[in-house]
Amino acid sequence: MRVFNETQRFNQWWLWLLFLAIFGVIIYDSYHHFSIVEGFTEYSIVLIIGIFTIVPVILLLVLMRLKTAIDEIGVHYQFLPFQFSKKTIRWSEIGECYLRIYKPISEYGGWGFRGTFSKNKAYNVSGNKGIQLELKSKEKILIGTQKEKDVEQVIHRYFNKGDE
């Protein structure tokens, strides 16, 4: 039995640099503001709102991850912390399954969990390669991957086994 497993995180250096720069500016500005001004002003409230906004966003980025597994049962995926349980799509539910290159911004509007209410969904955290699932119910699901060679082998083993 061959099982494919992959866990991906938002680990783009430029994204972390952006959030840490914003956080640094807010902390620096807060320190200078509160050391000079006594009491609260309108700007004090803006700084506090900034801190209470950026900290949860950074925490969310730390917690977010896409877990994918492919085995003889089907394709399993979970986008934490938004999905509390693993979703499984059985091979019998899949009409087509293949690896493809996609355009994250023009096709899905970026990275993350896309297409919440549509029949064309994407779960991705980086890159432009993904496992395209076209279900017999006409729903399409794209799951991003960074291990395209391993994915191709396991798809060939389980989905295309009837072609041999």
Taking only the tens of pLDDT, the chain with its 164 residues reads 478 999 998 777 777 788 888 888 888 888 777 777 777 777 778 888 888 888 888 888 888 899 999 999 999 999 998 889 999 999 999 999 999 999 888 888 888 888 766 788 999 988 899 999 999 999 999 999 999 999 999 998 888 764 44
pLDDT at residue number 116:
65
- In this structure, what are the phi and psi dihedrals at residue 79, rounded to the nearest 5 degrees? -110, 95
CA–CA dist 75, 70 (Å, integer): 5
| Domain segments of the chain as ranges | 9-63, 65-163
Query: Into which CATH architecture does domain 65-163 fall?
Result: Roll (2.30)
- Contact (CB, 8 A) for 130 and 123: no
Decide: pTM greater than 0.75.
Answer: yes
Q: What is the dihedral of CA 141, 144, 150, 151, to 10 degrees?
A: 10
Asked if residues 141 and 121 have their Cβ atoms less than 8 Å apart, the reply is: yes
**CA–CA separation, 87 and 79 (whole Å):** 9
- The answer to whether 38 and 156 are in contact (CB under 8 A) is no
